[in-house]
C-alpha cells in the first residue's frame, strides 16, 4: 500500500514559469513532510519541509503548501530554472516515527525545465 503518492511521473515547464509538483498521502498520522531533489546517480538533497501544524512554508524560490483536509501537499518553484531539472521526491514522517525519524517516500516526479 503506497501511503505517499506522486501521481505525475514527469512534468515539463518553460524556464521562468512556475513548476507545481504534487503529492498525496493516505495516513492522517503523518506529522512532517519533506521535499527532496535528486540528480541522476547522486543522493537526494533536502529542499524544504513543513510541519503538519502549518499550511505553508517558503524558502526562496521554493514554497510548500499543505492541505491536511485533502491530504495533499505541493511544491511550487518560481521562477523555474534549467538547473531545477531533476527528480523530486516527497516524503512523510509518521507520529510513530519518534526517535527513529523514519520517512516514507513517494515514487518521484521528473521535472524538466526547458530553456
Partner 1 sequence: SQTIHQWPATLVQPVGSPLSLECTVEGTSNPNLYWYRQAAGRGLQLLFYSVGIGQISSEVPQNLSASRPQDRQFILSSKKLLLSDSGFYLCAWSAISEETQYFGPGTRLLVL
Task: Spell out the alpha helix ranges (H) of 1-115.
Answer: none
Omega before 43 within 30 of 0, i.e. cis: no
Using the contact rule CB under 8 A, the part of the chain among 20-28, 35-43, 55-63, 76-84 near partner 1 is: 35-43
Using the contact rule CB under 8 A, the part of the chain among 16-24, 33-41, 56-64, 69-77 near partner 1 is: 33-41
| Closest to 92 (Cα-Cα) out of 31, 37, 6 | 31
Q: Is 79 in the site for partner 1 (CB under 8 A)?
A: no
Q: Count of alpha carbons within 13 Å of 74, Cβ hemisphere only? A: 12
Contact 39, 59 (CB under 8 A): no
Question: What is the nearest approach in angstroms of partner 1 to the Cβ of residue 115?
Answer: 26
Using the contact rule CB under 8 A, the part of the chain among 19-27, 38-46, 62-70, 73-81 near partner 1 is: 38-46
Question: What is the nearest approach in angstroms of partner 1 to the Cβ of residue 55?
Answer: 17
Residues engaged in binding partner 1 (CB under 8 A):
6, 32, 34, 36, 41-46, 49, 89, 91, 93, 97, 99-108
Amino acid at each position: 500500500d503506497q501511503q505517499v503518492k506522486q501521481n505525475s511521473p514527469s512534468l515539463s515547464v518553460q524556464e521562468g514559469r512556475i513548476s507545481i509538483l504534487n503529492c498525496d498521502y493516505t495516513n492522517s498520522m503523518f506529522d512532517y513532510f519533506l521535499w527532496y531533489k535528486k540528480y541522476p546517480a547522486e543522493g537526494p538533497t533536502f529542499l524544504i519541509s513543513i510541519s503538519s501544524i502549518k499550511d505553508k512554508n517558503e524558502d526562496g524560490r521554493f514554497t510548500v503548501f499543505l492541505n491536511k483536509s485533502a491530504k495533499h501537499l505541493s511544491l511550487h518553484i518560481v521562477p523555474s530554472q534549467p538547473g531545477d531539472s531533476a527528480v523530486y521526491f516527497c516524503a512523510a514522517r509518521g507520529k510513530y516515527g519518534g526517535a527513529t525519524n523514519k520517512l516514507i517516500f513517494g515514487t518521484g516526479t521528473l521535472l524538466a525545465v526547458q530553456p
